[in-house]
């Protein structure tokens, strides 16, 4: 018979065996981490894509329970893609948008999320009411502007100096410069379709004294005004001030074939980073005018880009957190710098001042815009792609002698009348 | 006291055997546990390594398939451009082109190409002509990168003669975009591109393998894609590159790295992770096995201790009993002759000259007549009483023994710091003995007087060995007998002192 000690020992051994073998059949349960996924879309060049991705990583590090899926591309084609997404309801939760899209997709203010509903997350106190008004449709805060933008005349001062030319200020200066440059295969200026379209509007407005759009987004230009624009474009091309917009090629900026470019403030580094790094002096010139003292007349400023939230977002809180981070945080401002222009956000601008990033060609172009007293806010419809593509189409008809400028202007006016709101005669 | 002294050597032997058993058993158990543990660790190591290699290899193959599928999809979308007739018939370099018509054809091709790639994150989707004219979507980044060598450089990317197309990146060490080019005709090439970071979705790996580095490299080991954007364009780290050099499809696992590679077109998908991280579970398992083994060994040794104790205890008891029986005179309870002589001899052999010892021999007077007169039972009682008297007179340190039928010996072993005191002590003890017998009467009516004769010899004066001392003492006893019995005599070879003189 076992004594007490033996019994105790047997009990301990049994317990140990049970402990060592008892867990064999237990199921292994592993809990997966779940994250809220939101999407962010933007367009831009390489540097914008790189810093945006880096800034998003900073955001994800601060908020490990949020995953941001990025969708980005260069500008070309982005607008059409955005249209497909907006119409099909597959747009990103947080979007970089163009000011023109507000009118296009949210005429009554319901096309995008009402950001004021998220004002406990997005600090709107960094923006003046006037700036927020750029993002309002029908009184609803659909978007928040990032920075202001305007078409700017960039001049490669080294090329102009090589030919003994001063920085052009007037339309005549431009044509005079072209006379010198054209003998050497150099263009005094160049630009993509939209930039040249706005350049022609500036010229025509200075000629006619009328704004292309009135306050009601109605076209005020007559067929005669359009004829001025068409003839101006033809003169620019025929006198080799600019290449045809179809012939505009980016690499001709780098090789000096284009001694100047009409482009957005936000395109300064995109176009000229390489040349500036090589030591070329590039400046943001005054806006071309008949009278230099009225430089800026007929030229327009607009929010460079805006951020909006999808009205269909399933995660408004998280989307608002990202939006606030993009607009108001030091982390984002540090990486973005002045790439999109000088930030409208007071805190963003303050951070850039603190770290000494308010400098360079882009900053100079912003200063030209901000200090100009004649420049006016741009009507969002001015950037409508159909509007300026049709204009170029009719310019080409004249350029290739398929039509007279008079006929082309009348036909163009007719098409505009059929598709856009026209101001009463 | 003499009866209580055990046979230490015997018990020491038993203790040694017990220790040997415990150590032997412990050693065997530890060796067995060690062997099993080493085998278990080795087997675990082997199984785990094979499993990890197999899983990582599968992951790599999956990544390769993802990549091939992605590239194939891009090629398919690019090929859609050939659905537009003008896209492959128009030649912008033809000097006979009407410029106005060309503008309109190019506009049409551009619109078509844009509509084909509208939902993809393409950076470029256009056609480049030999005169560097472009239609469709050609980004500023690409225009800036290739400049006025755009047609030449893009055309040189065609590497597959069968399909007249090819994949390329790293032009002018720029790895930001990945290009796919396809010949349209002799003067035109279709180009599409996307940012390398688009491959994030292709190489997305599960969170459990978050530490795995997944890279796409070209044949020069330049990194085309990595989770770490800073790495793109740089060389594959030597630690990984050295392990997969010259291999198209392989997995390598050593003490530092696990690296797998699979060829994907002209590129390679490389997965790598430090062995320490991927086999972290192995270390945990090894620790578990070692801890379990140590615990098992401890339990086994504990069991051995318990078992040996339980086995040895009755043996010790038996040995102790048998030893006592062999040493002790059963009648008197003191040492028998052999044990007494052995202990006394050993004691004297190991003594220093400064120590005091003495041998006292006691012989019961007329013991034969006690037996004859009172009977053997009373004789035995006398002997028994003598044992009692000796134990009561002498101390625990002294050796007591029955060295003959009625003869008893005492080796006085009590310590003294002077010879005088020792002599005085011996005389006192002899008187105590005599006195004890004077008070002892035997027989049925208790009237039979018992006495004893005593001889005393002192070490080392009367002999250094037990035999010499015994011989001297025997002479003194003889003198007591001759002197009329019931007295004690000190051996007087050097100095004659007789007990009766003291009486």
* Residue B336 three-state SS: coil
Confidence label for B237 from pLDDT (cuts 50, 70 and 90): very high
Task: State the best of B33, B119, B313 to mutate against chain A, taking most chain A CBs within 10 Å.
Answer: B119
- State whether B147 and A33 contact (CB < 8 Å): no
From the CB of residue A168, how many other CB atoms can be counted at a distance below 10 Å?
A: 24
* Residue B20 three-state SS: helix
Residues of the domain holding A332: 36-148+302-370
Is A351 found in the same domain as A308?
A: yes
Q: pLDDT digits over A396-414, tens only? A: 999 999 999 999 999 999 9
Q: pLDDT digits over A89-122, tens only? A: 999 999 999 888 888 899 899 999 999 999 999 9
Q: Which residues neighbour A71 within 8 Å (Cβ) at sequence distance 6 or greater?
A: A39, A40, A41, A92, B121
A75-84, A138-147, A339-348: range with highest mean pLDDT: A138-147
Q: Which DSSP string do the residues of A61-99 spell out, in sequence order?
A: HH-TTEEEEEEEE-STTHHHHHHHHHHHT---SEEEE-H
Give a yes or no: residue A91 inside a domain.
Answer: yes
The single residue listed with the structure tokens 């796409």 is B216
Computed over every residue of chain B, the mean pLDDT equals: 86
For strands B223-226 and B213-217, give the pairing.
Answer: antiparallel
Cα–Cα nearest to A75, from B14, B33, B122, B179: B122
Confidence label for B450 from pLDDT (cuts 50, 70 and 90): confident
| Per-residue confidence (pLDDT) for residue A41, from 0 to 100 | 93
Residues from B contacting A (CB-CB < 8 Å) are 99-100, 103, 106-107, 114-115, 117-119, 121-123, 125, 132, 134, 137-141, 143-144, 146-148, 150, 176, 195, 197, 207, 229, 292, 299, 306
* Residue A154 three-state SS: strand
Give me the percent of chain B exceeding a pLDDT of 70. Answer: 95
Six token digits for residue B96: 């006979």
Residue B361 to residue B370: CA distance in whole angstroms: 20
Give a yes or no: residue A343 inside a domain.
Answer: yes
CATH number for the domain that contains residue A340: 3.40.190.10
For A10-16, the CB contacts below 8 A with 24+ separation are A13/B299, A16/B299
Is A343 found in the same domain as A194?
A: no
Give a yes or no: residue A180 inside a domain.
Answer: yes
Is A112 found in the same domain as A180?
A: no
Is residue A105 within 8 Å of residue A135, measured between CB atoms? no
Q: What angle (nearest 5°) sits at the alpha carbon of residue B132, between those of residues B129 and B136?
A: 65
| Per-residue confidence (pLDDT) for residue A399, from 0 to 100 | 95
| Per-residue confidence (pLDDT) for residue B207, from 0 to 100 | 66
| Per-residue confidence (pLDDT) for residue A20, from 0 to 100 | 56
Is A277 found in the same domain as A201?
A: yes
Q: Look at B17-26, B223-232, B367-376, B480-489 and tell me which has the smallest mean pLDDT.
A: B17-26
- C-alpha distances (whole Å) from A308 to each of A55, A323, A327, B319 are 18, 8, 11, 100
Task: State the best of A20, A73, A268 to mutate against chain B, taking most chain B CBs within 10 Å.
Answer: A73
Q: Which of A20, A54, A84 sits opposite B119 (nearest CB)?
A: A84
Is residue A269 within 8 Å of residue A362, measured between CB atoms? yes
| Per-residue confidence (pLDDT) for residue B495, from 0 to 100 | 40
Is A250 found in the same domain as A396?
A: yes
- Read off the pLDDT of each residue in A284-312 and give the average, rounded to a whole number: 95
Query: Could you tell me which CATH class the domain B337-502 is placed in?
Result: alpha beta
Is A153 found in the same domain as A140?
A: no
Q: How far is CA B440 from the centre of its chain?
A: 72
Confidence label for A4 from pLDDT (cuts 50, 70 and 90): low
Alpha-carbon torsion angle B491, B493, B496, B497, nearest 10: -20
Domain tally, chain A: 2
- Rounded to 5 degrees, φ, ψ at B331 are -75, -45
Q: For residue B2, is pLDDT > 50?
A: no
Give a yes or no: residue A49 inside a domain.
Answer: yes
Q: For residue A181, is pLDDT > 90?
A: yes
Confidence label for B460 from pLDDT (cuts 50, 70 and 90): confident
Q: For residue A278, is pLDDT > 50?
A: yes
- Secondary structure E strands in A265-393: 282-285, 300-309, 376-377
Residue ranges of domains in chain B: 84-198, 337-502
DSSP secondary structure letter of residue B451? -
Is A311 found in the same domain as A288?
A: no
Confidence label for B307 from pLDDT (cuts 50, 70 and 90): confident
Is residue B51 within 8 Å of residue B288, measured between CB atoms? no
Q: Is the peptide bond before B460 cis (omega within 30 degrees of 0)?
A: yes
| Per-residue confidence (pLDDT) for residue A21, from 0 to 100 | 53
Q: Spell out which residues of chain B touch residue A32, defining contact as CB-CB under 8 Å.
A: 207
Is A93 found in the same domain as A71?
A: yes
Count Cα atoms within 13 angstroms, Cβ side, for B318: 6
- C-alpha distances (whole Å) from B50 to each of B47, B239, B312 are 5, 21, 51
Residue B223 to residue B203: CA distance in whole angstroms: 14
Assigned CATH topology for domain B84-198: Beta-Lactamase (3.30.450)
Residue B428 to residue A171: CA distance in whole angstroms: 151
Residue B486 to residue B492: CA distance in whole angstroms: 19
Confidence label for B52 from pLDDT (cuts 50, 70 and 90): confident
CA-atom Rg of chain A in angstroms: 29
Q: For residue B161, is pLDDT > 90?
A: yes
| Per-residue confidence (pLDDT) for residue A33, from 0 to 100 | 67
CA–CA min distance B229, chain A (Å): 9
Q: Look at A398-412, B125-139, B307-321 and tell me which has the smallest mean pLDDT.
A: B307-321
- Rounded to 5 degrees, φ, ψ at B262 are -140, 135
Is residue A220 within 8 Å of residue A212, measured between CB atoms? yes
| Per-residue confidence (pLDDT) for residue A19, from 0 to 100 | 59
List, in sequence order, every residue forming a beta bridge with B128; answer none if it has no partner.
B134, B189
Give a yes or no: residue A424 inside a domain.
Answer: no
Q: Look at A7-21, A142-156, B331-345 and tell me which has the smallest mean pLDDT.
A: A7-21
Cα–Cα nearest to B394, from B363, B366, B430, B369: B430
From the CB of residue B221, how many other CB atoms can be counted at a distance below 10 Å?
A: 18
Q: pLDDT digits over B375-402, tens only? A: 888 889 889 989 999 999 998 889 999 9
Give a yes or no: residue A5 inside a domain.
Answer: no
Q: Which residues neighbour A279 within 8 Å (Cβ) at sequence distance 6 or greater?
A: none
Is A127 found in the same domain as A76?
A: yes
Confidence label for A5 from pLDDT (cuts 50, 70 and 90): low
Give a yes or no: residue A7 inside a domain.
Answer: no
Cα–Cα nearest to B5, from B396, B385, B402, B322: B396
Six token digits for residue A150: 């305007």
Q: For residue B40, is pLDDT > 60?
A: yes
Six token digits for residue A401: 């002698």
| Per-residue confidence (pLDDT) for residue B3, from 0 to 100 | 46
Confidence label for A208 from pLDDT (cuts 50, 70 and 90): very high
Q: pLDDT digits over A113-168, tens only? A: 999 999 999 999 999 998 999 999 999 999 999 999 999 999 999 999 999 999 99
Q: For residue B20, is pLDDT > 90?
A: no
Is A283 found in the same domain as A393?
A: yes
Task: State the best of A46, A82, A267 to mutate against chain B, taking most chain B CBs within 10 Å.
Answer: A46
Is A228 found in the same domain as A100?
A: no
The pTM of the full predicted model, rounded to 2 decimals, is 0.69
Q: Spell out which residues of chain A touch residue B123, defining contact as CB-CB under 8 Å.
A: 73-74
Confidence label for A201 from pLDDT (cuts 50, 70 and 90): very high
Give a yes or no: residue A13 inside a domain.
Answer: no
- Read off the pLDDT of each residue in B438-448 and give the average, rounded to a whole number: 75
Q: For residue B496, is pLDDT > 80?
A: no
Residue A213 to residue A378: CA distance in whole angstroms: 9
Is A339 found in the same domain as A273?
A: no
């Amino acid at each position: 018979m076992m004594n007490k000690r033996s019994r105790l020992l047997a009990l301990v051994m049994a317990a140990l065996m049970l402990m060592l073998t008892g867990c064999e059949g237990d199921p292994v349960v592993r809990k997966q981490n779940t994250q809220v996924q939101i999407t962010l879309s933007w367009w831009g060049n390489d540097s914008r894509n790189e810093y945006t991705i880096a800034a998003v990583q900073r955001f994800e590090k601060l908020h490990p329970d949020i995953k941001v899926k990025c969708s980005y591309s260069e500008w070309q084609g982005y607008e059409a893609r955005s249209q497909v997404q907006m119409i099909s309801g597959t747009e990103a939760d947080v979007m970089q948008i163009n000011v023109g899209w507000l009118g296009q997709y949210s005429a009554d203010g319901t096309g995008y999320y009402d950001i004021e509903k998220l004002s406990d997350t997005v600090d709107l106190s960094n923006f003046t009411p006037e700036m927020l008004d750029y993002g309002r449709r029908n009184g609803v805060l659909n978007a928040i502007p990032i920075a202001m933008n305007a078409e700017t005349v960039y001049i490669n001062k080294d090329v102009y100096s090589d030919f003994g030319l001063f920085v052009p200020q007037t339309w005549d200066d431009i044509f005079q410069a072209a006379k010198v440059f054209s003998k050497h295969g150099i263009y005094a200026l160049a630009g993509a379709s939209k930039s040249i379209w706005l350049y022609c509007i500036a010229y025509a407005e200075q000629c006619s004294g009328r704004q292309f759009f009135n306050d009601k987004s109605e076209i005020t230009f007559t067929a005669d005004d359009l004829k001025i624009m068409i003839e101006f474009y033809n003169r620019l091309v025929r006198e080799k001030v600019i290449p045809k917009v179809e012939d505009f090629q980016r690499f001709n900026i780098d090789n000096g074939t284009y001694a100047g470019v009409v482009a957005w403030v936000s395109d300064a580094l995109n176009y000229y980073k390489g040349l500036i790094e090589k030591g070329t002096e590039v400046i943001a010139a005054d806006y071309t005018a008949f009278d230099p003292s009225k430089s800026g007349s007929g030229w327009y400023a607009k929010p460079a880009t805006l951020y909006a939230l999808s009205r269909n977002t399933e995660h408004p809180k998280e989307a608002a957190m990202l939006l606030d981070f993009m607009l108001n945080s030091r982390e984002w401002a540090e990486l973005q710098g002045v790439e999109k222009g000088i930030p409208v956000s007071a805190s963003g601008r303050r951070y850039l001042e603190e770290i000494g990033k308010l400098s360079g060609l882009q900053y100079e172009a912003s200063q030209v815009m901000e200090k100009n007293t004649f420049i006016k806010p741009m009507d969002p419809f001015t950037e409508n792609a159909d509007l300026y593509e049709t204009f170029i189409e009719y310019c080409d008809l004249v350029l290739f002698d398929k039509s007279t400028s008079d006929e082309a202007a009348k036909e163009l006016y007719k098409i505009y009348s059929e598709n856009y709101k026209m101001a009463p005669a | 006291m003499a009866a209580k002294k055990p046979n230490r050597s015997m018990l020491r032997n038993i203790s040694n055997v017990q220790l040997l058993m415990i150590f032997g058993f412990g050693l065997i158990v530890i060796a067995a546990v060690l062997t099993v543990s080493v085998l278990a660790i080795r087997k675990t190591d082997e199984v785990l390594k094979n499993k990890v290699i197999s899983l990582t290899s599968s992951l790599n193959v999956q990544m390769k398939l993802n990549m091939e599928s992605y590239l194939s999809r891009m090629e398919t979308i690019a090929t859609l451009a050939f659905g537009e007739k003008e896209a492959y018939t128009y030649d912008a370099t033809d000097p006979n082109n009407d410029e106005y018509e060309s503008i309109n054809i190019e506009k049409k091709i551009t619109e078509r190409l844009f509509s084909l790639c509208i939902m993809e994150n393409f950076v470029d989707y256009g056609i480049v002509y030999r005169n560097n004219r472009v239609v469709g979507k050609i980004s500023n980044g690409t225009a800036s990168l290739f400049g006025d060598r755009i047609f030449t450089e893009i055309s040189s990317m065609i590497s597959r003669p069968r399909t007249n197309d090819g994949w390329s990146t790293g032009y002018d060490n720029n790895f930001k975009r990945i290009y796919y080019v396809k010949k349209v005709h002799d003067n035109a090439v279709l180009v599409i591109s996307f940012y390398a970071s688009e491959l994030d979705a292709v190489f997305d790996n599960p969170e459990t393998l978050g530490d795995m580095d997944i890279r796409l490299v070209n044949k020069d080991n330049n990194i085309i894609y990595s989770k770490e954007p800073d790495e793109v364009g740089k060389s594959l780290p030597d630690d990984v590159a050295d392990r997969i050099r010259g291999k198209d499809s392989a997995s390598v696992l050593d003490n530092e790295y696990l690296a797998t590679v699979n060829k994907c077109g002209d590129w390679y998908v490389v997965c790598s992770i430090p062995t320490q991280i991927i086999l972290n579970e192995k270390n945990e398992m090894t620790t578990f096995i070692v801890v379990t083994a140590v615990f098992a060994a401890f339990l086994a040794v504990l069991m051995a201790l318990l078992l040996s104790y339980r086995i040895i205890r009755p043996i010790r008891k038996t040995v102790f009993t048998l030893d006592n029986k062999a040493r002790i005179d059963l009648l008197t309870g003191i040492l028998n002759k052999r044990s007494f002589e052995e202990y006394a001899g050993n004691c004297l052999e190991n003594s220093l000259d400064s120590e005091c010892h003495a041998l006292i021999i006691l012989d019961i007077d007329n013991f034969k007549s006690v037996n004859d007169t009172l009977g053997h039972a009373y004789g035995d009682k006398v002997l028994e009483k003598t044992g009692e008297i000796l134990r009561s007179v002498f101390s625990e340190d002294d050796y007591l023994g029955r060295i003959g039928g009625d003869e008893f010996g005492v080796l006085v072993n009590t310590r003294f710091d002077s010879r005088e005191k020792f002599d005085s002590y011996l005389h006192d003890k002899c008187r105590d003995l005599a006195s004890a017998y004077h008070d002892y009467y035997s027989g049925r009516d208790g009237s039979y007087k018992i006495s004893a004769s005593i001889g005393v010899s002192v070490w080392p004066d009367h002999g250094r060995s037990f035999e010499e001392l015994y011989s001297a003492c025997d002479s003194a006893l003889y003198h007591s007998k001759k002197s009329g019995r019931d007295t004690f005599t000190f051996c007087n070879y050097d100095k004659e002192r007789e007990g009766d003189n003291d009486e």
